[in-house]
Chains A and B, each alone.
Chain A
Amino acid sequence: MAHLSVNSVVQVSRHTGPVEHLQLRPFGPTAVLAEVADSAAARSLAAYARAARVSADEVVPGARTVLFDGVADPAVLAELLAGWTPDAITERGALVEVPVVYDGPDIEDVASRWGTDVAGVVARHTTIEFVSAFCGFAPGFAYLAGLGEEHAVPRLASPRTKVPAGSVGLAGSWCGVYPSESPGGWRLLGRTDVRLWDPDRSDPALLAPGTRVRFVPA
């Protein structure tokens, strides 16, 4: 780890010209956190690293980072990532349609925040093509990007103790679907019958990072 000193964030981009698009931060002796501009760049970097057969146990995209965990040699990783640019990966993920019954307890609240009515919320929500940016919170819970900052809504001040599986909600500029019943503070627009998480499927998470998502009225 000597070559990745903690106090000097490594600028991989010295090999590539512009320096702002990728910063590597050591995360303990066997992991590196790669920081990028936004979630689209994080998805692109994760896809690029996987395509290049990166030597890591885990490649975990976040809101504007990619964690590489179980890395034997950070210098080798830095060299591999140096070839990446934010537009390196243009391949689009599979498209999944998620039918929604728009009867969620917060849909009128969201409508008033957006300055529209329930029909307007449904129209807006079904127009956007979302992309799964990363998973977290629970197995198969995907943070879906695409809403835009102008439609961001705050989380509930006091989270619900029980949110049913299949609930479709918003928090900040993210959209998400609860794979299982859990507590939660997202503003709920509706519900779906689609099974988001099934460990017996070959792809257990329906909305794995990179998957494109369209909501359709059920």
Chain B
Amino acid sequence: MTLWVEEAGALTTVQDRGRAGLAHLGVPRAGPLDRPAAELANRLVGNRPDAALLEVTWGGLELRTDAGAWVAVTGATVAVDVDGVGRGCGRAEWLPAGGRLRLRTPSSGVRSYVAVAGGLDVAPVLGSRATDTLAWVGPPRVMDGATLPVGTPAGPPAALDTPRPPTPGPLRISPGPRADWFAADAVARLCAAPYAVGEASNRVGLRLEGERPVRVRDDELPSEGMVLGAVQVPPDGQPVVLLADHPPTGGYPVLAVVHPDDLWQCGQARPGEELRFVRG
């Protein structure tokens, strides 16, 4: 079975759980920014949690299939239709042979996940079907006109899936390994006022605008390994939360680290929206 992508929207990529174990060679891990939403989409259509699916940025996706298939759309709040008839997010929907699935522009959130029963069967690169947008390791970016093979469904879709949806809230942080490069109250001050999401945010990092943490050391940090959720403070003082496609090493000091369970919010926060941090 094959998917034909008629419209790919602003940015659509194939993602699975990511490419672990190669950070020491300079390879970002990649993977979905909103992991719980991606896992839910796979569960809804009966896929294994590591099945490959589409991450759609700002909606605008249109695709057809050559055979009937169960599909599920999760993540951002977005109007979905099949051949013009409205369908729901967060549940398995039947896409008939030749039918056209369409995602409009999300009304809240940024990224949608589209899972198809059987998973996307594109060729893995270095053991993963996740696309890294920093160095473009992985399957190619999904463009208008792309054809994507689909694997064999493992079984029927989940009859019912009623997970407790993650609740947005302040991002819990712990002090980072270079918190001592900043003023003693820098972590407390990070939590004291909201930060606005910057326009340049992407899969590499969530760029924040707000109070600049005060550094007490001005020397250059020798490059060191970075983790998902690290809150780096570059020379301009505006914090960046490192996301799935972050470079594996970096030279800016890390003031704090966002709790992994809260990172999905960084993938759904829109430019201009405000986020808060809290000690957790």
> What's the Cα separation between A47 and B226 when bound, in Å?
19
> What's the Cα separation between A9 and B105 when bound, in Å?
48
Q: Given A135-B248, A199-B125, do A60 and B27 touch, yes or no (CB 8 Å)?
A: no
B26 touches A63 (CB 8 A): no
Note all chain A residues with C-beta closer than 8 A to B258. Answer: 28
A63 touches B20 (CB 8 A): no
> What's the Cα separation between A2 and B252 when bound, in Å?
27
> What's the Cα separation between A203 and B248 when bound, in Å?
18
**Which residues from 110 to 162 on chain A have a C-beta closer than 8 Å to any C-beta of chain B?**
134-141, 143
A-B contact count (CB 8 A): 115
Q: B72 an interface residue at 8 Å Cβ cutoff?
A: no
Note all chain B residues with C-beta closer than 8 A to A33. Answer: 177, 224-225
Q: Given A62-B223, A62-B224, A65-B224, do A28 and B174 touch, yes or no (CB 8 Å)?
A: yes
A69 touches B225 (CB 8 A): yes
Q: Which listed segment binds B: A12-20, A86-94, A204-212?
A: A204-212
A69 touches B223 (CB 8 A): no
Q: How many residues of A are counted as interface, with CB atoms below 8 angstroms from the partner's CB atoms?
A: 40
| Chain B CB within 10 A, most for which of A69, A136, A141, A209 | A136
Q: Given A27-B254, A135-B26, do A63 and B225 touch, yes or no (CB 8 Å)?
A: no
B24 touches A58 (CB 8 A): yes
B23 touches A60 (CB 8 A): yes
12 A/B residue pairs, CB under 8 Å, sorted by A: A29-B174, A30-B227, A31-B227, A46-B24, A58-B20, A65-B224, A67-B224, A67-B225, A67-B227, A139-B135, A139-B137, A205-B26
A60 touches B248 (CB 8 A): yes
Interface string of A2-27 (1 = CB under 8 A from B): 00001100000000000000000111
B227 touches A28 (CB 8 A): yes
> What's the Cα separation between A52 and B179 when bound, in Å?
30
Q: B126 an interface residue at 8 Å Cβ cutoff?
A: yes
Q: Whole-angstrom distance from the CB of A39 to the nearest CB of chain B?
A: 8
Q: B230 an interface residue at 8 Å Cβ cutoff?
A: yes
Chain A contacts to B: CB under 8 angstroms = 1, 6-7, 25-31, 33, 46, 57-67, 69-70, 134-141, 143, 180, 199, 204-205, 208-209
A30 touches B24 (CB 8 A): no
Q: B176 an interface residue at 8 Å Cβ cutoff?
A: yes
Q: Shortest 6 CB-CB distances between A and B: which pairs? A: A67-B225, A63-B222, A136-B249, A28-B257, A60-B225, A62-B224
Q: Whole-angstrom distance from the CB of B162 to the nearest CB of chain A?
A: 28
Q: Whole-angstrom distance from the CB of B37 to the nearest CB of chain A?
A: 21
Note all chain B residues with C-beta closer than 8 A to A62. Answer: 222-225, 249
> What's the Cα separation between A67 and B20 when bound, in Å?
14
| Chain A CB within 10 A, most for which of B179, B224, B226 | B224
Q: Whole-angstrom distance from the CB of B30 to the nearest CB of chain A?
A: 12
Contact of B25 among A25, A67, A139 (CB under 8 A): A139
Q: Whole-angstrom distance from the CB of A83 to the nearest CB of chain B?
A: 21
Note all chain B residues with C-beta closer than 8 A to A137. Answer: 26, 247, 249
A135 touches B25 (CB 8 A): yes
> What's the Cα separation between A133 and B176 when bound, in Å?
24
B175 touches A59 (CB 8 A): no
Q: B21 an interface residue at 8 Å Cβ cutoff?
A: yes
Q: Given A27-B227, A69-B225, do A6 and B23 touch, yes or no (CB 8 Å)?
A: no
> What's the Cα separation between A28 and B174 when bound, in Å?
6
**Which residues from 219 to 250 on chain B have a C-beta closer than 8 Å to any C-beta of chain A?**
222-227, 229-230, 247-250
> What's the Cα separation between A1 and B229 when bound, in Å?
17
A208 touches B230 (CB 8 A): no
Note all chain A residues with C-beta closer than 8 A to B257. Answer: 27-29, 31
Q: Whole-angstrom distance from the CB of A174 to the nearest CB of chain B?
A: 9
A199 touches B126 (CB 8 A): yes
Q: Given A27-B257, A204-B25, do A136 and B223 touch, yes or no (CB 8 Å)?
A: yes
> What's the Cα separation between A70 and B225 when bound, in Å?
13
Contact of A29 among B177, B248, B254, B260 (CB under 8 A): B260
Note all chain A residues with C-beta closer than 8 A to B254. Answer: 27
Of chain B, the residue at the smallest CB distance from A136 is B249
